[in-house]
Each structure stands twice: as C-alpha cells, then as structure tokens.
A and B are shown apart, each in its own frame.
Chain A
Amino acid sequence: MGSLGTFLEIFLQALAAGILVGAIYGLMCVGLGIIFGVMRVINFAQGEFLMLGMYFTFYLVTSFGVLSLLGPVVGPYAGALLAGPALFVLGYALHRFLISRATGVNITGTEGEGHYVQLILTLGVALVLQNGGLILFGSTPELVRTPLSSRAWEIPLLYDETASLFLNKARMVSGAVSITVAAALYWLVNYSRLGKTLRAAADNAQAAIYMGIDVDRAHRIAFGIGTGITAIAGGLVATYNPFQPYIGLDFVIIMYAGVVLGGMGSILGAFWGGMTIGLVQQLSTLVLPVQLQNAAIFVVFLLIVLVRPQGLFGRAAERI
C-alpha cells in the first residue's frame, strides 16, 4: 500500500463526487439550455429560478404536512420534483407578461438590437426575485434535511482491503433523479410532437410561423420548461447545500459556463457541459487549493471555448 494507492483512492473519491455534482449541474444547464436554445434569450434570472426551486422544496417539505406522509426519505425528492410544474407555471407567466414584450419573433430577426433589452430585463427580474426572496424567506441559510445526507454506501476498492469509496446517499439519489429527469426531457424534445414544435421554432422561427406553428407559444412553453427543470435541480441541490435568497448568483455562472461548453442549443450538450463543470470543480481540488476550484472552472471554460468556439458538443454553422 503505497502513496500511489492513497492517491488513487482520493482520485476515485473526487471523480465520484465530480460525477454526482456534475449530474445535478447538468440538469440545471439543461434547463437554461432549452431556454437559450429555443429563443436565444440570455436569461440572468435563471439562478433565481434555481433559488425559488430550493425554497419551494423547502416549504413543501417542512411546512406542509402532506409530504410527511411520504416519509423523510422520499419527501424531499418528491418536493423537488413538484417544484418543476410549479415553477413551470411561473416561468410561463413571466414569459407571457414580461419577456415576450422584449423578445418574440420580430426581434429575433434583427442582430444585436433585441438582446440588450432582454438582458437588462432579466437582470431587473433577477433583482426583484432575489430581494423579494429576502423579504419573504429571510436571510438565514436553510437546508432541506434528509436522513440520507448523513449516510453513505461504502464500496470496497478491490486492490486494497483497507481502501474504499464512500458515496453519500443523498447525493447518489439526487444524481440519479437528475439523470432521469434530463433523460425524460431529452425524450420529450426529440421524440414528442411538442418537442418537434420547439425544435422547429428554435431552428427557424420565421419558417416555423409559415408552417403554422405558434412560435410565441413555443417560446412560452420552452421558457416554462426551462424554469421548471432548473427549479427541480435547485430542489435537489437544496438537500445537501445550504441556501439563502442570493444563492442564484453562485450558480448562474456555472450554468452559463456549462451551456456554452456544451454548445448552445443542444440539450445533450448542455448536460455534458454541466457534467464537465462538476468534474473540473471536484478534480481540480486534487492539484489546486480549494479556494481556486471555481477559478479552475473559469480557466478551463475559457480554454475550451477559445479552442473550440462552438463548444464541446456543438457544430459550427456560419455562412457568409
């Protein structure tokens, strides 16, 4: 048993942590990716949707007796999943009454002009949600407690009987739920009728309109889905990461990094982009001080984007 064995154990532990965190990052990126992919809106309020998903889950689990029926183990995950439809409604309404006034078909046609408006609009929305959250929820950090977070599966490593891998049960379940939800969305977008509508609207809004597709409605639905998916990811993060109303800022940048890495407009790409971020974040701790793990994310992000501007999984398409 040498230092190599010890390093291997630490490496595997970091790898496992990276995959588990990456799966959840992947899910949030998918939520942002669908909004970005379908309507090319840079939505700065996405972090706040995540935050709302956390609080929704929290209050559902703690304040409403309904979920205690399901028990402390299933309850939090059911809460996170319920945050999806609830926040879908919010996202849908937000798009209907605010965002659509600054985006929509007529603006996607012009270069540059429309983006400014959406950008600053979503910044305003983010400020309102953040601070409104502070008023409603208070500034005390909360956590959705589950007995699973203090339990772990121990997986013996075969090369050495003293070494083993500890997999936190809460994170394992969160990761599994993330992957399931992302897979379901992947199916929805690629194989359902609704998904075809969304993809048509994303690919060429003008042509989609001529084909009789209600592009505005497609945008609303995409915005709602993106909001709901990110909220589910928020509920899952809430089971292991304490949160307060300003937590969105910490995650919105990770989400954008993941979406750009994956290649904008690709659901699968967004998931792998988020996974890459999770892996970089966790594996960087092997060689860098912990304080620099977020700096490592941005450096790797920049390197990849500069070498492959279309992202890891995107395709370049530009015609002169």
Chain B
Amino acid sequence: MRARGKLLPPLLAIAILAAAWLALGMLVTNSYYQLMLTLVPIWAVLGLSWNLLSGYTGLVSFGHAAFFGLGAYTVTIALTGYDLTPWLGIPLGMVVGVIAAIVIGYPTFRLRGHYFALSMLAYPMALLYVFEWLGYQEVTLPMKRQAPGFYMQFSDYRVYVALAVALLVAALLVSLLIERSRFGLSLVAIKQNEPAAEAAGIDTLSWKMRAIMLSGAIAAAAGGLYAVVLLVVTPESVFGMLVSAQALVVALFGGVGTLWGPLIGAAVLIPLSETLQANLGNVVPGIQGVIYGGAIVLVVLLAPEGIFWRVRDRLARPHATAPIAELPRASAVAIKSPDAPMKTAADAAPLLTVSGLSKSFGGLRAVADVNFEVRTGEILGIIGPNGAGKTTLFNVLDGFLPPDAGDIHFAGQRIDGLKPNRICRLGIGRTFQVVRAFLRLSVLHNVVVGAYVATRTDADALAAATAALGQVGLLDRAEAPAGGLTNKELRLMELARALAGNPRLLLMDEPLAGLAAREIEDMLGVIRALPARGATVVIIEHTMRAMVRLAERLIVLDHGRILAVGKPSDVTSEPSVIEAYLGQKWAASRAHH
C-alpha cells in the first residue's frame, strides 16, 4: 500500500485519461472503433468492481456476472415492460445489485478460499436458467424514436463513448477513495490475515459486506450500460460464465489490487479479442480464441502478478518504498498514561472474571471448568505443558471459539459469545503464538490497522500507531515491509498493533517463543512497562524461568484444568505442578530429598 493522502497525482491521471479517451472518441468516426472505445471502459468498470471485492480482500469471486446480468436485465425489463428510461433504469439496476449483494454476501461470506470462489459461481448460473425459464431468452430494447435522448438512445455514437468514460471515471474515483482510506486498508488486512484483522478490531464481516455491496452496484451499472449500448440482452451474454471470467481476467491480467490494473487489462484484451474475432473469425472459426487464450497463457507465465506490477517493478528505483511524509515525530505524540495512580495488584478490582468455562473438541476437553480472575494492573502468567489448553483458553476469551459452558465478564460486561472484533473494541488486545502479520504491508500500516478500533479519523489512527511503535521501540523500522522483519521485530510489531487499539487487557500468547536470550530481556522490559501505561497483561508461556521473573501471579493449566494459582515462588514448589511438568518419577524422587 502506498502512502496515503497524496490524492492529487492519481486524480490528475484520471482527468488526463478521461480527456484523452474523450478526445479519441470524438475524433474516431469508424463505428466499429467507437464501439471498442465504449466496450473497453464498460469491461474495465466490471473489472474494477471485481477488484474492489476480490482484489483487495482476496476472496475470489467467480460470480460477478450475477450483478452484471441483474443490472442489464433491470434496465431492459424496466424499459420494455414499464417504459422506464435507462437514466433511471441504471440507478435502479444498481439498487438491485446492492440487494443481490446483501442476499449473496451474508450467507456466502461464511465460506473461505476455494469454497467461496466456487459457490459464487453458482449464483449467476442459477440466475441464467431462471431468466431463460422466465422467457427472457433474447430481449431487444425497443427503439424510442420520439424521444431518443430521454431513453438514452443516441444516433451519434460518441455520446455512448462519453457515457462509458463517465462511468469509468466514477468507478476509478470510488476505487481511489477506498484504496486511500481505512476502508481499503481494512480490506487489505483481511486479505493478508483475516484472523489477525478480526483480533485487531476490524469488523471483517461488515467491511466485506460493504465491499460486496459497492462492488455489486458498480457491476450492475456496467451491465446496465452494456444493455443500452448493445440493445440486445440474452441470459448467456450477461449471466454466462464468460462474463464472470472476463471480470477476473481483465483484473488479473492488468494487476490485482491496483487502481489501474483492470483498465490496463481491458484496454489490452478487449480490442485484441474483438479484432481477432472480426478479422480471423470468418477465415478460420476458432483461431481467434486460440490466439486469445495463448496470449493469456503467455502473459501469465511472463508477468504472473499482472502487467501493472511488472511494469512498476521495472520502473521503480532500488529503494522503492517512498518515505511516509506525514509520519509524526514520536515525541510530538503524547502516549496515553493511566489516569489513576497505580494500585498494587492485590487490592485492585477484577478486570476479567472467568467462571465455569469449558470447551471441548469432540471427546477432548481442551478447557474444563476453568475459574479465575484477572486483577486490574497485574501481569498474570498462564503456564502449563504442551496441550494443556492455554491457546484454546485465549481463543475462547477473545471470541475466536465459542465456549461450551461458562461465562466471561470483562469490566462488568458479559463478553462470551461476542465476535473477536467486538471484544477487541471493548478493550482486549491479543498477540498470537505464531505471529500473524500483514506481511505485504509496512510496519506502520500493520499497526495503523490495529489503531482503527480506538480512533475516529485516519490521522488519529496514524498518530496512535506511531505512538505504539515508539512504545515498543520500533519507530525506525516504521516504513519497512513487515515481510522483512526479524522474529523479534515481528513480535514487537504485533505487540504494537495490539497496543495501538489502546487495550485495557492484553492477551499475549508465547511472546518469547523463538527469541534469543538477549532478545528475551528486551521483550521482558517492554512487557514490564505495560501496566504502568494502563494495560493489564495475561501471558502464556512455556518457559517457567522467564515467567517467574515477569508475572506477579501464575495459573498452572494441565489437561484443561487449573492445577494451581498463586505467587510464582509458591506455585513452582507445588508437587502437582512439578509432576505435570516433569513427570511423576521426578516429583517422587524430589520428595525424598
């Protein structure tokens, strides 16, 4: 993701492009080329709409023909059946597109990956057969000679070029605004690591719904204009698999997840296929498809990430990442300090109360009737051998898994059964055993995603993220891509992401795993400072030694049950704890001495 805020260059580029396209449209007199100049923007808009959902969130849709076709048929049926002008028919089609997106999105977003992609394929296919059955095999838009302009029918083809360009500009502007806002960054975060986004307080379902609704509206607009331009609509031509394929091919070909990709793809592929069709289609039927398919294969092998990225990588200088200009200085941002003076942990009120909590997987009771509380301002350690149920406990606490029984109260509010992003919103942050980073984003943007939950404006989010980076000592790495960090830096970044949401309780799952001795010391220093800044900490760790030095109280879990609770020194001398850790024999031999 590029630096945000600098809107002027892309706006200028869009303006220049539109002007050039219009000028070309005005100059060209050949009606065939005029049709081409109209079709390229229409397919580019469909590609942009696909890109908005699938390019940014990574949820590949094979079914964008559903929205395109509904837009086309809404315009057609409105005109033939109700004498409604396409000027209103296209907006109406967009409304239908949004409704379809809601109906499709809610159930289908429960699926992931290939299942999502293939299920999306079923919607346009079902619609195709339904429309055939309804008797709309081939609908021709009637000519309205008395008021052609009112019915969007123009004898001068250049008006269609202008309409298509206007639609393209609108779609580009929408995409640009999304790309440069928290909307876009949230979608990219979902693409890179959905559970991490959810844990960072991003309401993933709601963002995905917004994305598909917008995407559906834009695709429907493209379909509506397509019907107006071609004047004939058949189920195969608007709901067919080739339409869905076209949406994704132009975007993938040009460059996924970019503003310009779909346009580049459409501008290359549509004229290519149409020209081949016109010139070779009659000579050797099929040769155009062979060449077109061959061209796709070739480009995919040579530029698998799409033409846009390929060209950009060529042009970009070695130090590609531009400095993030608007990064505030760390000193300028006040780091939130606790309002109340620190109390000792012992007399503080419980921040989190867990009672009777159980979670089973089949016959395995991963968490069995667990009761404990976390006091405000303490560092509580949870230890236990492998498979004791520590991570499952965290997953239940922050909403990734629903508990089978029991309840969880946080700051006086019952939170069990809430989704992770809601729980994050209430003030519980989380880091993972295996770091869940948005690897393709910069360190700063990773942390900004975590800051959205606690801030209203994007500027505040940036400031909070910078402050959090300062707190963990990672400010000098702010612009580095997360993919290039060391393990320690990744762990610190994940901690900063959690802190940027200003949590009152922080759940840390093995933050020391894989760190060298000296790195452990650094990490311990950062964690020790957290309560003073208003965050209560619960840590899972394997290594008893570090925990004894860090935690004020320890909970020992074994086979899903709490074995012991208390001060580190007391807990570690408990025979049952020693037995769980080191085995019965060792405990017995020790008891003799």
Q: Which residues of A contact B (CB under 8 A)?
A: 36, 40, 42, 44, 98, 101-102, 111-112, 115-117, 119-121, 123-135, 139, 245, 249, 253, 256-257, 260, 264, 289, 291-292, 294-295, 298-299, 301-302, 305-306, 309, 320
Partner of B133, one of A126, A289, A299, A305: A289
Find the B residue at minimum CB distance from A36. Answer: B114
Give the docked Cα–Cα distance between A130 and B294 (Å).
12
Please report the number of residue pairs spanning A and B whose Cβ atoms sit closer than 8 angstroms. Answer: 141
Partner of A116, one of B133, B252, B287, B292: B252
User: B252: shortest Cβ distance to chain A, in Å?
Assistant: 5
A115-B60, A306-B110 known; A123 vs B133 contact (CB < 8 Å)? no
User: B318: shortest Cβ distance to chain A, in Å?
Assistant: 23
Give the docked Cα–Cα distance between A98 and B293 (Å).
13
Give the docked Cα–Cα distance between A101 and B304 (Å).
10
Stretch at the interface among B15-23, B177-185, B200-208, B241-249: B241-249
Give the docked Cα–Cα distance between A298 and B104 (Å).
13
Give the docked Cα–Cα distance between A42 and B115 (Å).
11
Partner of A294, one of B117, B125, B249: B125
Could you tell me if B126 and A298 are in contact, using CB atoms closer than 8 angstroms? yes
The 3 closest A-B pairs by CB, nearest first: A131-B289, A127-B293, A134-B286
Contact residues in A for B133 (Cβ distance below 8 Å): 289, 291-292, 295
- Pull 18 A–B residue pairs with CB atoms less than 8 Å apart, ordered by A: A40-B114, A116-B252, A119-B252, A121-B300, A124-B295, A128-B289, A128-B297, A129-B293, A130-B286, A131-B290, A132-B290, A256-B121, A264-B114, A294-B125, A298-B122, A298-B125, A301-B122, A302-B122
User: B196: shortest Cβ distance to chain A, in Å?
Assistant: 10
Give the docked Cα–Cα distance between A116 and B118 (Å).
14
Contact residues in B for A294 (Cβ distance below 8 Å): 125, 129
Partner of A128, one of B125, B252, B293, B400: B293
Chain B contact residues (Cβ within 8 angstroms of A): what range?
Answer: 35 or more
Contact residues in A for B122 (Cβ distance below 8 Å): 253, 257, 298, 301-302
User: B366: shortest Cβ distance to chain A, in Å?
Assistant: 12
Over the window 106-150 of chain B, the binary record of Cβ atoms lying under 8 Å from chain A Cβ atoms (1 yes, 0 no) is 011011001101110111011011101100000000000000000
Q: Is B230 an interface residue (CB 8 A)?
A: no
Q: Is B191 an interface residue (CB 8 A)?
A: yes
Q: Is B301 an interface residue (CB 8 A)?
A: yes
Give the docked Cα–Cα distance between A57 and B123 (Å).
34
A135-B284, A139-B285, A294-B129 known; A127 vs B121 contact (CB < 8 Å)? no
Give the docked Cα–Cα distance between A42 and B241 (Å).
15
Find the B residue at minimum CB distance from A314. Answer: B115
Give the docked Cα–Cα distance between A23 and B294 (Å).
34
Give the docked Cα–Cα distance between A98 and B285 (Å).
25
Give the docked Cα–Cα distance between A291 and B119 (Å).
21
Contact residues in B for A112 (Cβ distance below 8 Å): 58, 191
Could you tell me if B289 and A127 are in contact, using CB atoms closer than 8 angstroms? yes
Could you tell me if B58 and A249 are in contact, using CB atoms closer than 8 angstroms? no
A40-B114, A294-B129, A301-B122 known; A123 vs B304 contact (CB < 8 Å)? no
Contact residues in A for B118 (Cβ distance below 8 Å): 42, 256-257, 260
User: B279: shortest Cβ distance to chain A, in Å?
Assistant: 15
Could you tell me if A121 and B293 are in contact, using CB atoms closer than 8 angstroms? no
Could you tell me if B130 and A292 are in contact, using CB atoms closer than 8 angstroms? yes
Partner of B301, one of A44, A102, A133, A302: A102
Among A126, A132, A305, A309, the one with the most B-chain Cβ atoms within 10 Å of its Cβ is A305
Could you tell me if B129 and A305 are in contact, using CB atoms closer than 8 angstroms? no
Contact residues in B for A129 (Cβ distance below 8 Å): 293
Give the docked Cα–Cα distance between A219 and B297 (Å).
20
Find the A residue at minimum CB distance from B119. Answer: A305
Among A40, A101, A116, A133, the one with the most B-chain Cβ atoms within 10 Å of its Cβ is A116
Could you tell me if A253 and B125 are in contact, using CB atoms closer than 8 angstroms? yes
User: A46: shortest Cβ distance to chain B, in Å?
Assistant: 12
Could you tell me if A295 and B290 are in contact, using CB atoms closer than 8 angstroms? no
Known: A124-B295, A295-B128, A302-B107. 20 other contacts (CB 8 A): A42-B114, A42-B117, A42-B118, A111-B58, A117-B300, A119-B60, A120-B249, A120-B252, A120-B253, A125-B293, A128-B289, A129-B293, A131-B286, A135-B286, A139-B285, A256-B118, A260-B115, A302-B123, A306-B111, A320-B401
Could you tell me if A130 and B289 are in contact, using CB atoms closer than 8 angstroms? yes
A120-B252, A306-B110 known; A132 vs B286 contact (CB < 8 Å)? yes
Q: Is B487 an interface residue (CB 8 A)?
A: no
Find the A residue at minimum CB distance from B252. Answer: A120
Contact residues in B for A132 (Cβ distance below 8 Å): 286, 289-290
Over the window 413-454 of chain B, the binary record of Cβ atoms lying under 8 Å from chain A Cβ atoms (1 yes, 0 no) is 000000000000000000000000000000000000000000
